[in-house]
Structure 1
């Protein structure tokens, strides 16, 4: 197949289970193809995630496809993830279609009523991508062997058939049972589906691969299909994860590191409250890579410890998560930390809303609670509305800048609440629509801060990805604690681009890309 072919070549990455590394491997393959000169785009027909990515035109897709588009060095569009499911309550999700909220549907209604419509949307989006690019790399969801879902599948084997895509089946050896998971998955597939699986990738391997070889030989003989690669575990990846399931494995890894090294006296202890409906947790990824930060999550009051900073993250259901804080005693502890102990507290999006005096939901857009008292740390009030604001923004802030200067910032907004000030307050951020966004908008104030920046909140996701702002904030806390400021901090955006190349080179060195190109029926540039 040549580059002049009308429709793009396809390749699909499926997994034996969730969180086996499909999203990261797809990003790696996207970057490899980009490095090899192919105009490449990612695709996931239906994504379930609370971790969103805002496209250049102000639409919402799953973060994994945004990250994969970044790996391809292209602008992300909703065609790359036409359907996004955002869990809202047990068995209920907000259905986002081409970047805009469609409806809140329970699982049965979605499956029986909406999936037939979704099939057309998925096929059209995929066709547009294949008409615009040379290669499209598809990512599956969960496992293709879910027998109760296969008849209306739009994201695994039926999608592979529509795309005529060879399938790479990924299994995670770190969780054990890798051979059983691969063979068991194949056994449940139909003969036609098994034929579409062209090879296996064993992911997250730790140890001596020669000790694994007898098992690999058995697997190839048993299935008649090749093991295309055994990918060693790659620590400190530097690329954001798809969903909060990965936080548990990260927590285990962090505990291993802490057992080896411990917390330095020169580090700040920064803790994020892990809400039950936590969303957009990638807001805090840069903090995990700052050398002077000891980063952790707090789920229970017993894990409080002695933090220097408490961060309140985004949430898919602000009202219910605020009630959770109150019921568990975390709300009272946060209030005491800020008001009595003079600790530093910051909130992003839902976290910003919770820091206010009151949250109002008279129409029930968030929950069945029409009104809740907030944490009372900021003089603000939030009313939830039906309209969701999704937009890329850029702007500036003088917060923590010092000497009257300003720091240039950018990020994105994605929220349904509207927040107003109950009294005169210092507004820390001034934003406007990003210049590549066709939406027009005046410069507007965002967020609130009190006590000389000790408590602040913002709707701006990605605020901590701005290196100069993040370092100025951390240094303010360091100085207040009696520590010396750090002059040369992390350059997160530069490191992220380097991380894509590091990931691609790592996967390329352990994956038989020549055979992958053969399966795709393309000739390597």
Structure 2
């Protein structure tokens, strides 16, 4: 039976995901075969596994840190919010149904067998399982039928480390208050506390730590610093959206729509030394970028309506008319067409005019496309023509089919690809002038693609870039996971954590 440890937090964004990723890398470095597990995740950043199943990216990051392939058992339930009160519920990598928050809360216990089955498969194959909770275990309105925090810890008989976020203030109240709201048997599961995101002189904190331990009767196993590591974070609370930097020779603006998903598509561009990548929510922020990126979204029609109402669509169309490079991915690609039709009310229902930058129409369907692909760019027009022939790889996750409008020219498909799940070959995307669109998430990740885009934009702008000697995205990630592990080793009592693991056998 695999050893197990669970990381819970006093609130969302306390740092659970990052701590889990760091522990996964440490355990791997120490010779253990470790795997992450989160019974239920709520996120719009998702991933397609090698067998065509959908899971949250947080557990993908943790699997990468553990140097293992992501698999859907690591995240058997994924909730993808479609509006403020409902989500698409994905179970074992496949769409189960769209549900309101109230309806899901009423029936989620039905999913316990799937959770235990997924965990059981991992338990048979790995030495250590690093389990992540969600939100806070002290949300007393949600404790009934809990399947992701203390309820899960009880099901799996897992010891718990509780993480508090000192950067947002009140960390002692967070930790003590959380423990006070737990049932006695739940509190008994908490074997250690972690104070996370600390900046400053720890000696000033020491008296408070002593008083906390006296009141809680639970040891503090570490005070981890605010880490400057560049690792994917949870989508809804990411600090990337607040970036408004400037100074790079190449300026790229990402439209931050209300239901933005898979902004991880742009990390390869963000890492380029002379590129500034920023997120834009209203026309005044757009300015005159060299490229505008329309990201994926869980609600294409709703987010296009939002852009139309706040003036961003008009601003983008003006930029396109002046020759600015526009690139849409997934939902952003769908927006670029002439018409969106939703006969089955998958999203908003009815028919909606698109942005009209590509001669395409999208019809939303109830069946979700989920697959991994590889291939190469072809028929690339305009400023990014130098991408032709370059290899690409990534994955598709979308509801809907996009095709050329009747009477329009033949589709100038931007890439030729092979479905890695079925083996079928097909064409994807569209290129016309300086407007580009594709369904492929991760299309910029293959080594050399982001660099070629930056060089092309620089040539169009009439500026020169330094010779780009960036590490590949994969090598960059590996370096960041090692830095994270080094920091946690320095600031956590790993000897005590290993002792907790041994005691729970």
Shorter-chain TM range is over 0.9
Shift of 1:292: 0.9
TM-score w.r.t. the length of structure 1 is 0.92
Match of 2:230 in 1: 238
1:496 is the counterpart of 2:477: yes
CA distance in 2, matches of 1:194, 1:156: 12
Match of 1:283 in 2: 265
Instruction: Output one character per residue of 1:367-422: Cα deviation in whole Å (capped at 9) or x when no partner.
Output: 13x11111111111111011111111111114478679621111111111101023
Match of 1:432 in 2: 418
Equivalent position to 1:461, from 427, 431, 441: 441
What SS is found at the alignment partner of 1:159?
helix
Instruction: Output one character per residue of 1:431-477: Cα deviation in whole Å (capped at 9) or x when no partner.
Output: 1123xxxx3232211100111xx210100100121231111111111
CA distance in 2, matches of 1:522, 1:40: 18
1:389 is the counterpart of 2:369: yes
Match of 1:4 in 2: none
Equivalent position to 1:59, from 53, 57, 65: 53
Equivalent position to 2:86, from 68, 92, 99: 92
Match of 1:420 in 2: 403
Instruction: Describe how 1:155-170 pairs up with structure 2 within 5 A.
Output: 155-170=148-163
1:171 is the counterpart of 2:164: yes
Match of 1:375 in 2: 355
Match of 1:28 in 2: 22
CA distance in 2, matches of 1:277, 1:405: 31
Deviating more after overlay: 513-522 vs 27-36: 513-522
Query: What is the number of equivalent residue pairs in this alignment?
Result: 497
CA distance in 1, matches of 2:200, 2:503: 34
- State whether residues 377 and 387 of structure 2, in contact with CA within 8 Å, keep that contact through their aligned partners in structure 1: no
Instruction: Describe how 1:129-148 pairs up with structure 2 within 5 A.
Output: 129-148=122-141
Residues 1:313 and 1:401: Cα distance change in structure 2 (over 3 Å): closer
CA distance in 2, matches of 1:521, 1:39: 16
Instruction: Describe how 1:286-325 pairs up with structure 2 within 5 A.
Output: 286-325=268-307
CA distance in 2, matches of 1:179, 1:201: 11
**Structure 2: runs of 5+ lacking an equivalent:** none
Instruction: Describe how 1:472-487 pairs up with structure 2 within 5 A.
Output: 472-487=452-467
Shift of 1:424: 2.3
Equivalent position to 2:208, from 215, 220, 224: 215
TM-score w.r.t. the length of structure 2 is 0.95
What SS is found at the alignment partner of 1:89?
coil
Shift of 1:486: 4.4
Instruction: Output one character per residue of 1:12-40: Cα deviation in whole Å (capped at 9) or x when no partner.
Output: 00000001111111011011001101111
Residues 1:405 and 1:317: Cα distance change in structure 2 (over 3 Å): closer
- State whether residues 479 and 485 of structure 1, in contact with CA within 8 Å, keep that contact through their aligned partners in structure 2: no
Equivalent position to 2:315, from 333, 355, 358: 333
Match of 1:3 in 2: none
Instruction: Output one character per residue of 1:37-86: Cα deviation in whole Å (capped at 9) or x when no partner.
Output: 11111100011111101111010011111111111111221111111111
What SS is found at the alignment partner of 1:464?
coil
What SS is found at the alignment partner of 1:508?
helix
CA distance in 2, matches of 1:277, 1:250: 15
Match of 1:350 in 2: 331
CA distance in 1, matches of 2:169, 2:365: 46
CA distance in 2, matches of 1:149, 1:60: 26
- State whether residues 449 and 455 of structure 1, in contact with CA within 8 Å, keep that contact through their aligned partners in structure 2: yes
What SS is found at the alignment partner of 2:124?
helix
Shift of 1:485: 4.2
CA distance in 1, matches of 2:488, 2:125: 26
- State whether residues 251 and 291 of structure 2, in contact with CA within 8 Å, keep that contact through their aligned partners in structure 1: yes
1:105 is the counterpart of 2:99: yes
CA distance in 1, matches of 2:213, 2:485: 25
Shift of 1:142: 0.1
1:514 is the counterpart of 2:500: no
Residues 1:401 and 1:323: Cα distance change in structure 2 (over 3 Å): closer
**Structure 1: runs of 5+ lacking an equivalent:** 1-6
CA distance in 2, matches of 1:402, 1:379: 19
Deviating more after overlay: 23-32 vs 279-288: 279-288
Equivalent position to 2:176, from 180, 183, 190: 183
- State whether residues 9 and 522 of structure 1, in contact with CA within 8 Å, keep that contact through their aligned partners in structure 2: no
Residues 1:511 and 1:403: Cα distance change in structure 2 (over 3 Å): closer
Residues 1:382 and 1:219: Cα distance change in structure 2 (over 3 Å): same
